[in-house]
Amino acid sequence: MTVTLPALEDLGHVADELPGLVRIETHDRQKATPIILDMLRSVYPHDQVFGEFCPVQAYVDAPPRELFNWLSDTRSLEEWTYSLRGFTPTDETGLWVAKDRLGDNTKCFTRTVSNADAMTVDYHCAWDQGEHLWMIYLMRVVDAQVVLNKPGSVVLWNNCKHPFYDNNAYPETAPPERPVWVGDFWEMFSAGHQLEMDNLKAIAEYRHHHDLPIKPEWMTR
């Protein structure tokens, strides 16, 4: 079954004009790469800071519980990530497949594991195959009133450099003649994830400031 998801439909034409929003529809890889490269700084040893882990964080002026409810729906990734598009449920409960347009003809499988009490959202993902979801993106939403003494949310996001980023353990599942592997982008992950965190912040704050639900209505249908 194919599902067409109206991502960002509630924003209308504003989605293309929202300051700071960088998505593949408006910035292809050639346009986005200079933006990401400009975010990298030579004043610190990048590999020392981001060699094994990739942490990013942000303050988001939106209610933490509403933000958590949005992020804990796998389909939210279609809205705030740079390149994951067209989420479709698989035959396995809770497992979704999308296209990662960062790679040519690449499938990305995702299962979301969330904890409402701790407001943690972990995305278990993998390129090409859904049997071993080894790309783990760890997120937590924190009540900003507790840690910053002001309303809103703090979002913490980290992932670890699994050895498969360096060596694809499932080459037989890759589409033929694909020129890239997800691990080829590891050195750009810190900037790329910050770009996506900025997308998350821009979308959530726009909706909150305009009295729109953080989790759009199409996700509740």
CATH number at residue 57: 3.30.530.20
44 pLDDT tier (thresholds 50, 70, 90) = low
Does residue 72 form part of some domain?
Answer: yes
The answer to whether the beta carbons of residues 123 and 74 sit under 8 Å apart is yes
What is the domain count for the chain?
1
Higher pLDDT, 84 or 39: 84
The answer to whether the beta carbons of residues 125 and 110 sit under 8 Å apart is yes
Domain carrying residue 113: 50-219
Note the pLDDT of residue 42.
67
Does residue 64 form part of some domain?
Answer: yes
Q: What is the mean pLDDT of residues 139-153?
A: 98
Does residue 36 form part of some domain?
Answer: no
Token pair recorded at residue 143: 């009540």
Does residue 8 form part of some domain?
Answer: no
d(CA 119, CA 69) in angstroms, rounded, equals 9
Note the pLDDT of residue 3.
46
Does residue 166 form part of some domain?
Answer: yes
Note the pLDDT of residue 208.
98
- Structure confidence by residue, pLDDT tens digits, 120-136: 999 999 999 999 999 99
Token pair recorded at residue 206: 């726009």
pLDDT(109) > 80 = yes
Does residue 27 form part of some domain?
Answer: no
Q: How high is the mean pLDDT of the chain?
A: 92
Note the pLDDT of residue 111.
98
3-state secondary structure the chain: CCCCCCCCHHHCCHHHHCCCCCCCCCCCHHHHHHHHHHHCCCCCCHHHHHCCEEEEEEEECCCHHHHHHHHCCHHHHHHHCCCEEEEEECCCCCEEEEEECCCCCCEEEEEEEEECCCCEEEEEEEECCCCCCCEEEEEEEEEHHHHCCCCCEEEEEEEECCHHHCCCCCHHHCCCCCCCCHHHHHHHHHHHHHHHHHHHHHHHHHHHHCCCCCCCHHHCC
pLDDT(212) > 90 = yes
d(CA 169, CA 177) in angstroms, rounded, equals 17
Note the pLDDT of residue 1.
43
Does residue 56 form part of some domain?
Answer: yes
User: What is the identity of the amino acid at 153?
Assistant: S
Q: What is the mean pLDDT of residues 139-155?
A: 98
pLDDT(91) > 90 = yes
Does residue 11 form part of some domain?
Answer: no
Segment among 2-6, 31-35, 169-173, 180-184 with least mean pLDDT: 2-6
Segment among 8-12, 66-70, 114-118, 120-124 with least mean pLDDT: 8-12
pTM: 0.87
